[in-house]
Structure 1
């Protein structure tokens, strides 16, 4: 398995992976899958901001992706990012999630990000929470009943991973 920066030609696979979760589950609150043009815009914005957008590739096929985006657009949040990670269903349990997330965190740290946040839907499936906790995230809050999808009312769990002393980093996104 190779973890690498996403390229525009990977985005069809990214679109398919994410669309699966949008249409069949509650891991995301999106109700309509973004199209490839949307993914191209996201890819360009993240590249311009110096934020990682990674894919896991196995035998020439993209089996998952992870990205970091600005947490908020206000300047005071410039050293904080929110991560997002999704695997093709058939790739679950094979180490791709851990490889993507640990690489993403390292790339964020190199780019001056000191805090990475994750917003996880509490769907009853503990896999995402376990992955994030294994990679150093700690629970920092819960938002009750904030989502409604597929006939369910859902909570989100807020997780945070501190990557370093915020005063040690001069390079931050948007700075």
Structure 2
């Protein structure tokens, strides 16, 4: 599935799409270094991100969002990933998305989340799970906007690369 809007184009990515994997690596590493959205403490290598993309076998998927007003520049990515690796959890997906710092607050996150939810429904998933830092105001707002319900809070659960400790919030949406 590919979504085109007047501004954004969202498309699935394969591990051999070097341009997209490089952009995913750069965007993710910016999030690592800024803190506040991932518990990875060190930047990831291109090879690590490529392996991560490769690990997403159907029905799971990684996608990039390109900003047409910036000449098609990749400004973010998202993924539907395995929630838990036991077969009884098939149909439940962990979703995640990251937007480049200079593209945040312009609708790319909402467009990506909308695409991910449509993709999850097309793949006949029954629940989408979002696990986010509780103090990540942008992601918390998107969870609420899209109708997710917070079902848990794990206090002081994860440190980010800046050394800050964060509570983790757990969200779900019945699909």
Residue 103 of structure 2 is aligned to residue 91 of structure 1: yes
Conservation of the 8 A alpha-carbon contact between 1:83 and 1:117: yes
- 2:168 corresponds to: 156
Q: Which residue of 85, 89, 102 corresponds with 1:77?
A: 89
Q: 1:87, 1:97 within 8 Å by CA — same for their partners in 2?
A: yes
Q: Which 5+ residue runs of structure 1 have no aligned equivalent? A: 164-175
Secondary structure, counterpart of 1:49 in structure 2: coil
Q: Distance in 2 between matches of 1:12 and 1:120?
A: 24
Change (3 A) 1:20 1:115: same
- In the alignment, what sits opposite 2:29? 19
1:114, CA displacement in angstroms?
A: 0.7
* Distance in structure 2 (CA, Å) of the matches to 1:92 and 1:127: 9
Task: Tell me if 1:52 matches 2:57.
Answer: no
Q: Deviations over 1:78-129 (max 9, x none)?
A: 1111011100011111111111111111111111211110111123x41110
- Give per-residue Cα distances to partners, 1:18-53, cap 9 Å, x unaligned: 10111121210100122111222222221x232121
- CA-atom RMSD, angstroms? 1.3
Tell me the SS of whatever aligns to 2:118: helix
Task: Could you list the structure 1 runs, at least 4 aligned residues long, displaced by more than 3 angstroms after superposition.
Answer: none
Tell me how many residue pairs correspond in the alignment.
161
Compute the TM-score of the two structures, normalised by the length of structure 2.
Answer: 0.87
1:145 aligns with 2:156: yes
3-state SS of paired residue (2:37): coil
Counterpart position of 2:142: 131
Tell me what 1:168 maps to.
none
* Comparing 14-23 and 52-61, the one that deviates more: 52-61
- For residues 27 and 43 of structure 1, the distance between their equivalents in structure 2, rounded to whole angstroms, comes to 19
- TM normalised by structure 1 equals 0.87
